[in-house]
């Protein structure tokens, strides 16, 4: 049985081991730009601790021959404060290029490519979104091309199948990798190579074990977040029932959310944004609780 290429451990192994495939995926996403000929994967190693970290995303950080940086991620589920997290890590990758004494002209363009196994926006006719620093009222005016974030909604893109191009072929690969009949119709050569790479990786017993470890961690994450939400709501209801006035009910729910936040501080891998989402507190209040 083939491993799931959307498993982020499998995803990273595939593209870290075959930089030419990463280059083709970049070219498919940025088909309106000159093609990338050479890609160097800057973080090919996978720390074993990352596989069990529930809130860690295994990304592929690559650089082309011109020094342009690409952060490529596979996202199987929507995390708390997903938009803010995506913007933060793109900006951090851009800023981390400079060291003490470096000049700003040494900064190179940083491009995020996030493949999502879910639909983020309501527009049924668009699956590939590209965000840049442009003027709100005159979008033809760009401040700088230094930052760009590409979001690809894989289920929607596969459903639309607006063209038979490379990006559609990659969407079919990630959505239908187990369907031999459909995959045999894909003529894009890099996708066929990716299928071969996936078959080789799937035959490796250690890769199978590590993919299962990663899948289990992701399931645990989803279960933990669901339980935390339910616990917070239940405690809020119980506290509210103990108060006779509306003000008391509101204060009881607020105190329950604060107590839940304090317990969540003990959970590894939960940042303040995730705790704020789970408890419905503001991030400022979560930070104040942590300091106290």
For 99-151, what is each residue's pLDDT tens digit? 878 899 889 999 999 999 999 999 999 999 999 999 999 999 999 999 999 99
Q: Classify residue 1: in a domain, yes or no.
A: no
CA dist 145 and 167 (Å) reads 22
Domain boundary among 203, 228, 251: 203
pLDDT tens, 31-89?
999 999 878 999 888 877 667 665 566 789 999 999 999 999 998 877 767 788 889 98
Query: Quick one: 139 and 258 in the same domain?
Result: no
The whole domain housing 279 covers: 210-291
CA dist 81 and 291 (Å) reads 22
Strand-by-strand arrangement of the 69-75 sheet: 39-41, 60-64, 69-75, 110-116, 142-153, 128-134
* C-beta neighbour count of 146 within 10 angstroms: 15
Please give the pLDDT value at position 213.
82
Please give the pLDDT value at position 167.
94
Query: Quick one: 126 and 228 in the same domain?
Result: no
Domains: count for the chain? 2
Q: The whole model's pTM is what?
A: 0.76
User: What percent of the chain shows pLDDT beyond 90?
Assistant: 50
Confidence of residue 289 (pLDDT cuts 50, 70, 90): confident
């Amino acid at each position: 049985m083939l491993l799931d290429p959307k498993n982020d451990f499998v995803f990273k192994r595939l593209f870290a081991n075959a930089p030419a495939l990463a280059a083709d995926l970049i070219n498919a996403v940025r088909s309106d730009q000159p093609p990338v000929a050479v890609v160097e994967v800057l973080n090919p190693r996978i720390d074993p601790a990352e596989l069990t970290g529930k809130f860690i995303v295994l990304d592929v950080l690559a650089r082309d021959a011109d020094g342009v940086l690409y952060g490529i991620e596979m996202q199987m589920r929507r995390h708390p404060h997903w938009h803010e997290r995506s913007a933060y890590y793109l900006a951090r990758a851009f800023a981390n290029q400079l060291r003490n004494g470096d000049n700003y002209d040494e900064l190179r363009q940083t491009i995020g490519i996030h493949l999502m196994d879910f639909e983020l926006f309501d527009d049924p006719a668009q699956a590939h979104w590209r965000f840049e620093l442009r003027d709100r009222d005159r979008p033809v005016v760009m401040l700088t091309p230094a930052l760009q974030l590409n979001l690809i909604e894989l289920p929607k893109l596969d459903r639309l199948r607006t063209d038979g191009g490379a990006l559609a072929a990659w969407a079919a690969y990630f959505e239908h990798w187990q369907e031999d009949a459909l995959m045999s119709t894909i003529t894009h050569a890099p996708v066929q190579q990716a299928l071969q790479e996936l078959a080789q990786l799937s035959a490796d017993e250690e890769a199978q074990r590590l993919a299962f470890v990663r899948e289990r961690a992701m399931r645990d994450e989803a279960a933990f977040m669901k339980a935390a939400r339910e616990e917070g709501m239940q405690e809020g209801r119980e506290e509210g029932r103990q108060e006779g006035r509306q003000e008391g009910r509101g204060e009881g729910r607020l105190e329950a959310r604060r107590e839940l936040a304090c317990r969540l501080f003990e959970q590894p891998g939960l940042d303040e944004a995730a705790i704020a989402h789970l408890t419905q507190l503001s991030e400022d209040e979560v930070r104040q609780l942590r300091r106290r």
